[in-house]
């Protein structure tokens, strides 16, 4: 196929790719494992691979099923393929693909009705009612008396069990082996799971997790359906394969049958969803299952400066979970990374604000700045500090803290007090209200379930109020008004850009010019709940994800003491922020240009105007550089910096 400029469309797809990306793109239909480090052009590589296979006739676009873990990623993949002139590729999440196939083949399932009916069709909150009813039956209590936190914990365990492809009969033993600690006995969860399954079957409805198992079972049991699906899809691509769970793998195996036309892309260093059931070994052991698989390592990080990449590499060096070669920073030199210590968390917040203000003053757009933290409740004080300093803030997932049920309840009770006795002391009233809703600041619940999340949310509110100036909190009327104002700010459009405050988990897949990793202490990062070697390894990977969100500016902050005076210890991961002495320099030292005598053909360099390139000729004080899509240019050596 020709593109009218003398070159083939396939050659055009390869233009501008580096050597490793090209290797991944031109690899045969499968099996292929692409180990894509942070910032190495993962999505670019897999979309160009799909386009190249289509244009060369290896696999037509309509014969590819590209599977992702989020609708956003699927949409981005479709958009990029469209820009490459390739249509017809099905890019969907696992669940969306399963639902589409079930709708088409529904009669073959033998289940009643004309198609799958999702549980939400029974109205908003239908699944919650089913779960509450199941718990009530097991606990032998009216459903209305079942605590909401137990329903939330049951939902979490159902999600984990479904991801691990476990039946209710298998759940209890597997959950105990995995160290699961919901806010109830494992036997209670297993019993409620059985009741819930029976209730769904009686009502003829499926929940979200049922889509995968039902579709996989259909393909496993019906040869005609399986043959039809396998005839339609000749090859499969799976994005973020490190996040794939056993239930998704079962469906993928059913799609494949006895074929191996599978390409997976992922980064074991960014595997942070084991708590949801993801199984990193699927990526790590891909070549065990497919000994003849082609493995391509993408290591050239085009996202971040050398300083940021160095931190990421030191963080994972020598760790079994690093599973791949070190990244090579391609963005060139940048500011030194920094670790900033506050005396206490209030002082740390002030230092976070000062850091963000400095970046804004230097011209970094607010939407290119993020403050990342480990736990949801930590966002409260950080967001308040930024907003009180006049910095616009937005939550990465759009969730509003002040809309949480327990927080909204406290606000409503404060409003009632303010209407009756507006001048009553705010601290006294808040203490009464928190006691009324069952919050004891000295008795946090065990575990990580919904009860602990509720306690954390209320404790964050108490801590926030304790740090506010007396003018805002002297009376219950003043406090109620201030909290209502903060709740309104949670919903107010941020205007011309805003700084993102997000958990590290929610930040995965995103990137910013400047990132603060806040609350970098023992017990926070790594989490106090990480007690096994597997859990602590995942915490380190979470720190790696946080670091690699930054393109240019990276600062970690921690406090020497918590609110209330208890001493803190710095996160062990902060040692990775310490650059070797040989590279010491001021944060904004400019890169040092090289003379032609030190440049060699084949060397990777960067130019202040044309960007990244490779030296192809050196002579008489000039250098000829291949800038990829920017073409070859002969430039003065004084404007060249080696990488």
Length in residues, the chain: 643
Question: How sure is the predictor about 2, in pLDDT bands with cuts at 50, 70 and 90?
Answer: very low
Structure tokens at 555: 């600062």
User: What pLDDT does 121 receive?
Assistant: 65
Same fold, 9-101+212-296 and 338-577: yes
Check whether 631 has a pLDDT greater than 70. no
Known binding-site residues for ATP equal 36-43
Helices (H), 84-167: 94-109, 126-139, 148-163
Question: How sure is the predictor about 314, in pLDDT bands with cuts at 50, 70 and 90?
Answer: very high
- Number of other CB atoms surrounding residue 224 within 10 Å: 9
Q: Which CATH architecture has domain 9-101+212-296?
A: 3-Layer(aba) Sandwich (3.40)
Exposed, middle or buried, 86 (CB in 10 Å: 0-12/13-18/19+)? buried
User: What pLDDT does 610 receive?
Assistant: 54
Q: What is the pLDDT of residues 286-306, one digit of tens each?
A: 999 999 999 999 999 999 999
- Of 428-432, 524-528, 621-625, the one with minimum mean pLDDT is 621-625
What percent of the chain lies above the pLDDT cut of 70? 85
3-state DSSP percent of the chain in helix, strand and coil, to 5: 50, 15, 35
User: What pLDDT does 123 receive?
Assistant: 64
In the sheet that 512-517 helps form, which strands lie side by side, from edge to edge? 338-342, 550-559, 512-517, 369-373, 499-503, 393-395
Known binding-site residues equal 36-43
CB 478 within 8 A of CB 432: no
Cβ contacts of 487 within 8 Å, gap of 6 or more = 400, 402, 403, 411
The CA angle 524-538-268, to the nearest 5 degrees, is: 145
Segment 577-582 shows an average pLDDT of: 60
For residues 591 and 119, which has the higher predicted lDDT (pLDDT)?
119
The CA angle 199-203-209, to the nearest 5 degrees, is: 70
Q: What are phi and psi of 32, to 5 degrees?
A: -135, 135
Check whether 265 has a pLDDT greater than 60. yes
Structure tokens at 354: 């000062």
User: What pLDDT does 323 receive?
Assistant: 61
What percent of the chain lies above the pLDDT cut of 90? 46
Check whether 342 has a pLDDT greater than 70. yes
CB 546 within 8 A of CB 515: yes
Check whether 597 has a pLDDT greater than 50. no
Distance CA 174, CA 153 (A): 17
Check whether 499 has a pLDDT greater than 80. yes
Segment 116-132 shows an average pLDDT of: 82
Q: Which CATH architecture has domain 603-642?
A: Roll (2.30)
Distance CA 496, CA 475 (A): 34
CB 568 within 8 A of CB 599: no
Segment 242-250 shows an average pLDDT of: 93
Check whether 224 has a pLDDT greater than 90. yes
Q: In the chain, what are the domain boundaries?
A: 9-101+212-296, 126-205, 338-577, 603-642
User: What pLDDT does 124 receive?
Assistant: 63
Helix (H) / strand (E) element for 555: namely strand 550-559
For residues 486 and 292, which has the higher predicted lDDT (pLDDT)?
292
Segment 69-96 shows an average pLDDT of: 89
User: What pLDDT does 135 receive?
Assistant: 94
Question: Measuring CA to CA, how many Å separate 136 from each of 197, 202, 273, 479, 504?
Answer: 14, 18, 30, 38, 36
Which class would CATH give 338-577? alpha beta
pTM, two decimals, is 0.82
């Amino acid at each position: 196929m020709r593109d009218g400029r003398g070159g083939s469309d396939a050659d055009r797809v390869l233009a501008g790719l580096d050597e490793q990306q090209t290797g991944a793109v031109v690899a045969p239909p499968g099996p292929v494992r692409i180990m894509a480090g942070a910032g190495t052009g993962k999505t670019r590589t897999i979309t160009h691979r799909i386009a190249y296979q289509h244009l060369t006739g290896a696999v037509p676009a309509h014969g590819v099923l590209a599977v992702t873990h989020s609708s956003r990623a699927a949409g981005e993949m479709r958009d990029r393929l469209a820009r490459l002139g390739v249509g017809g590729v099905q890019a969907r999440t696992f669940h969306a693909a399963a639902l589409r196939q079930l709708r088409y083949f529904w009669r073959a399932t033998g289940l009643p009705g004309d198609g799958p009916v999702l549980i939400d069709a029974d109205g908003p909150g239908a699944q919650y009612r089913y779960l509450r009813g199941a718990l009530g039956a097991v606990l032998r209590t009216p459903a209305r008396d079942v605590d909401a936190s137990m329903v939330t914990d049951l939902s979490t365990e159902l999600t984990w069990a479904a991801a691990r492809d476990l039946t209710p009969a298998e759940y209890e033993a597997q959950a105990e082996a995995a160290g699961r600690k919901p806010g109830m006995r494992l036997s209670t969860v297993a019993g409620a799971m059985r009741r819930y399954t029976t209730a769904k079957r009686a009502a003829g409805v499926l929940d979200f997790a049922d889509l995968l198992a039902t579709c996989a079972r259909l393909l496993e049991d019906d040869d005609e359906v399986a043959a039809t699906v396998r005839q339609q899809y000749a090859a499969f691509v799976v994005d973020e394969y490190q996040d794939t769970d056993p239930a998704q793998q079962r469906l993928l195996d059913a799609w494949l049958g006895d074929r191996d036309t599978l390409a997976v892309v992922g980064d074991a260093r960014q595997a942070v969803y084991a708590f949801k059931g993801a199984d990193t070994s699927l990526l790590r052991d891909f070549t065990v299952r497919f000994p003849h698989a082609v493995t391509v390592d993408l290591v050239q990080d085009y996202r971040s400066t050398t300083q940021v990449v160095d931190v990421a590499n030191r963080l994972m060096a020598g760790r079994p979970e690093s599973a791949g070669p070190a990244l090579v920073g391609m963005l060139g030199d940048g500011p030194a990374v920094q670790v900033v210590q506050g005396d206490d968390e209030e002082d740390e917040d002030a230092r976070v604000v000062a850091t963000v203000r400095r970046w804004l003053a230097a011209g970094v757009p607010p939407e290119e700045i993020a403050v990342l933290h480990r736990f949801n409740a930590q966002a409260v004080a950080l967001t308040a500090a930024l907003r009180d300093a006049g910095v616009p803030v937005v939550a990465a997932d759009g969730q509003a803290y002040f809309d949480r049920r327990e927080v909204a309840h406290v606000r409503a009770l404060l409003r009632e007090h303010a209407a009756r006795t507006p001048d009553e002391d705010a601290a006294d009233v808040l203490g009464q209200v928190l006691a009324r809703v069952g919050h004891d600041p000295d008795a946090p619940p065990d575990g990580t379930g919904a009860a602990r999340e509720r306690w954390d949310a209320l404790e964050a509110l108490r801590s926030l109020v304790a740090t506010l100036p007396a003018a805002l909190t002297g009376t219950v009327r003043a406090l109620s008004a201030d909290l209502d104002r903060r709740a309104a700010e949670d919903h107010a459009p941020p205007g011309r850009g805003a700084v993102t405050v997000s958990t590290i988990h929610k930040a995965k897949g995103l990137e910013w010019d400047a990132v603060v990793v806040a609350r970098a202490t023992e017990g926070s990062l790594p989490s106090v709940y990480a007690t096994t070697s597997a859990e602590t390894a995942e915490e380190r990977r979470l720190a790696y994800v946080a670091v690699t969100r930054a393109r240019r500016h990276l600062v970690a902050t921690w406090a020497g003491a918590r609110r209330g005076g208890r001493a803190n210890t710095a996160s062990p991961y902060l040692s990775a922020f310490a650059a070797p002495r040989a590279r010491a320099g001021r944060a904004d030292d400019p890169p040092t240009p090289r003379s032609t005598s030190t440049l060699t053909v084949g060397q990777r360099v960067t130019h202040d105007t044309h960007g990244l390139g490779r030296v192809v000729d050196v002579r008489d004080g000039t250098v000829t550089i291949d800038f990829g899509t920017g073409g070859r240019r002969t430039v003065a050596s004084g404007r060249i910096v080696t990488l």
